[in-house]
Amino acid sequence: MLWRCNWVKQRRKLINTLSFSSLHTLFSPNPNQISNLSRHRAAPNPPLTHDDVYSRLRESSPDLKTLTFFLHCAKQSNYFHDDRAFDHMVSVVERLTHRHKSINQVIEALILSGCVIKPRVLLLLLEIFWRGHVYDKAIEVYKGMSTFGYVPNTRAMNMMMDVLFKYNLVDRALEVFEGIRVRNFFSFDIALSHLCSRKDLDLVRVKMVLKMMIREGFYPNGERFGQVLGVFCRSGCVAEGFQVVGLMICSGVSVSVNVWSMLVNGFFRSGEPRKAVDLFNKMGCSPNLVTYTSLIKGFMDYGMVDEAFSVVRIVQSKGLAADIVLVNVMIHTFTRLGRFEEARNVFLHSLKKGADQYTFATILSSLCLSRDFDLGITIGTETELDLVMGNSLMNYLCKVGNTLAALKVFRNMSNRDLALDCYTYTGFLTALCQGEAYGHALNMYDEIVKRKGIRIDAHFHTVMIDSLVELGEYGSAMRLFNRCVLEKRELDVVSYTVAIKGLVRGRRMEEACSLLEKMKDDGVMPNARTYRTVISGLCGEKDKDRLRKVLRECIEEGVELDPNTKFKVVSLLSRYTRDCSEFRSVFEKWRENVGVSDSYDELAVSAG
């Protein structure tokens, strides 16, 4: 109260000191000032437009000045840069980074130019690199936020999560996802999109993110719902698929015919073809070509050929034009049935509609299976090679014997931005061996094994060993096989069988029999081809003692031998009636199966 009274006294003194006229003169502007003020108020700064900003960005020559102007515009109220501006800034910031060597030095240059570094500046730099797919620099900017004492917001963490997913760092991406304090729709959408499109699908994580999304009050859009439903149906989890459909209905997303098609496909994947047919008959809408394609493929997968072709006739009767997916399914179907000529006709017809890479890959596989390499099909050079088609084309050319063309395909794939896998390198090594450059192939094999980022499976090692065996380099083949065993590389029953084949051809039967025993100790069980290889070698060496032992193992394991091998066994052991009485019942059973009466002549004919 005292303070107020003192102020009142002081105010009275001030008023008494100044007259009204002096006050009026002091605080009243003159007419010229009034006109100037009104002029300034009437002409405010024009608002920024995207076209003007983009034009200024393009005209600005020093990159640092361009970036400074870009950041200045972003600070203006109610202005947000469009895609054109961000796309233009990608090359600008890349040049600055290259010139200044690091992001930190770019930021120091901005500070020297008078730019105040605030969280929004780092966020814009992160978005520029993220939009330009310069992910290593995006990670550098994200890490640099902490050095300035800034905590990344939801948008920054969303972009970093997307980058980590694209780098295949799933665990780290999910750590960022779980660390977002206030998740928005895009946080869940990015996580679901990447988890659903991965080859090594993790349904547990998909379910976890979907449940968290719904719990926090968000629902996927129509596109993401379809992706999640497709994941469950492809995995045969139809019950979860129907739950997703229920969520779609509750959130107002329309259930289209494609949704029912995915559910039909899901029943086939889960091993319930009859339920797939029942659902097809109860669909609440007319089936389309996608639905019929799912039915045809599902029936063929279960060997229901008549049902599959009945659906094909329905498609034809409705006058539906086959799309490229149905064409691929039909080529695959005819190939599985051994009807290669019809597969060829479907392929030739598809060329008029524009066959894709998968169509070419499918027909090439069909040609390789048919062993009919003279069908006169010209591979369309206008079709750009992808990984699957390139691998199939190399496989085809190697089987045809056109080694040079196969090597050209590999060179073409290497020059493209393709993530070459172990099957690509397998075709390359096969072509080298066929070209009798197996020394170079062995060197390349060692180099490829040492490379990181390539998942090498047993097929890769087996093809290299088999190529050496086919060249007659049995010693080199066995040294490579033993090195694989010693270094614990991935090997399977085919790998062991190929190694045994090399020993048999090198007339090293004792080692072949020892390897047969060793593979069991290594946890790899021989199959019919393995036993056939060993038995054929023993029959060639007329080693009846070892043959009897191996034959006993075959009988105990219930392994069925082919007619040619049976004929070799019977031809050898039937000469020693007293020693081989234990196999008499087996021989009789074999003769009954091939319709032999008293002699083994017909058995020889059946063996081809």
Which pLDDT does position 437 carry in this prediction?
Answer: 74
Question: pLDDT (tens digit, 9 = 90+) per residue, 452-468?
Answer: 767 788 888 888 898 88
Residue 26 belongs to some domain of the structure: no
Residue ranges making up the domain that contains 107: 50-152
pTM for this predicted structure: 0.59
Which pLDDT does position 456 carry in this prediction?
Answer: 81
Range name among 133-137, 421-425, 490-494 with the lowest pLDDT average: 421-425
Query: 145 near 122, Cβ under 8 Å?
Result: yes
* For the ranges 7-16, 292-301, 575-584, the one whose mean pLDDT is highest: 292-301
Entry field: residues in the chain: 608
Which residue is listed with tokens 């009050």? 217
Residue 135 belongs to some domain of the structure: yes
Confidence of residue 603 (pLDDT cuts 50, 70, 90): very low
Give percent of the chain with pLDDT exceeding 90: 21
Which pLDDT does position 17 carry in this prediction?
Answer: 41
One DSSP character per residue, 73-100 reads HHHSTT----HHHHHHHHHHHHHHHHHH
Confidence of residue 563 (pLDDT cuts 50, 70, 90): confident
Q: What is the mean pLDDT of residues 572-577?
A: 72
Confidence of residue 488 (pLDDT cuts 50, 70, 90): confident
Q: What is the mean pLDDT of residues 15-31?
A: 42
Residue 355 belongs to some domain of the structure: no
Residue 389 belongs to some domain of the structure: no
| Greater pLDDT, 288 or 391 | 288
Residue 224 belongs to some domain of the structure: no
Which one-letter amino acid corresponds to residue 386?
Answer: D
Query: 462 near 492, Cβ under 8 Å?
Result: yes
Cβ atoms within 10 Å, residue 23: 11
Residue 539 belongs to some domain of the structure: no
Secondary-structure breakdown of the chain: helix, strand, coil percentages, each rounded to the nearest 5: 70, 0, 30
Which pLDDT does position 20 carry in this prediction?
Answer: 37
Which pLDDT does position 368 carry in this prediction?
Answer: 62
Phi then psi for residue 336, to 5 deg, are: -65, -30
Confidence of residue 377 (pLDDT cuts 50, 70, 90): very low
Which pLDDT does position 173 carry in this prediction?
Answer: 94
Which pLDDT does position 312 carry in this prediction?
Answer: 86
Which pLDDT does position 378 carry in this prediction?
Answer: 46
Which one-letter amino acid corresponds to residue 238?
Answer: V
Query: 261 near 294, Cβ under 8 Å?
Result: yes
The domain tally of the chain equals: 1
pLDDT higher than 90, residue 392: no
pLDDT higher than 60, residue 574: yes
Helix H or strand E segment including 273: helix 273-281
Range name among 258-262, 263-267, 376-380 with the lowest pLDDT average: 376-380
Query: 461 near 469, Cβ under 8 Å?
Result: no
Phi then psi for residue 133, to 5 deg, are: 60, 25
Cβ atoms within 10 Å, residue 509: 18
Which pLDDT does position 367 carry in this prediction?
Answer: 62
Which pLDDT does position 582 carry in this prediction?
Answer: 63
Q: What is the mean pLDDT of residues 532-542?
A: 88
Question: pLDDT (tens digit, 9 = 90+) per residue, 63-104?
Answer: 889 898 998 888 888 888 999 999 999 999 989 988 888 888
Encoded tokens for 8: 């009142």
Which pLDDT does position 149 carry in this prediction?
Answer: 81
pLDDT higher than 90, residue 18: no
Which pLDDT does position 101 carry in this prediction?
Answer: 85
Query: 115 near 71, Cβ under 8 Å?
Result: yes
Which pLDDT does position 596 carry in this prediction?
Answer: 37
Query: 594 near 563, Cβ under 8 Å?
Result: yes
Residue 82 belongs to some domain of the structure: yes
pLDDT higher than 50, residue 4: no
Range name among 62-66, 484-488, 567-571 with the lowest pLDDT average: 567-571
One DSSP character per residue, 363-382 reads HHHHHHHHT-TTS-PPP-TT
Range name among 141-150, 209-218, 579-588 with the lowest pLDDT average: 579-588
Give percent of the chain with pLDDT exceeding 70: 78
Q: What is the mean pLDDT of residues 191-205?
A: 90
* For the ranges 93-102, 215-224, 388-397, the one whose mean pLDDT is highest: 215-224
Residue 60 belongs to some domain of the structure: yes
Most distant CA pair in the chain, distance: 146
The whole-chain average pLDDT of the chain stands at 79
What SS3 state is found at 598? coil
Which residue is listed with tokens 């780290």? 172
d(CA 89, CA 93): 6
Q: What letter does residue 601 receive in the DSSP assignment?
A: H
Question: pLDDT (tens digit, 9 = 90+) per residue, 429-459?
Answer: 777 777 667 777 788 788 878 877 677 888 8
Query: 343 near 335, Cβ under 8 Å?
Result: yes
d(CA 429, CA 441): 5
Query: 526 near 493, Cβ under 8 Å?
Result: yes
Which one-letter amino acid corresponds to residue 323?
Answer: D
Q: Using CA of residue 433, residue 437, residue 439, residue 443, what is the dihedral sign? A: negative
pLDDT higher than 60, residue 595: no
pLDDT higher than 70, residue 55: yes
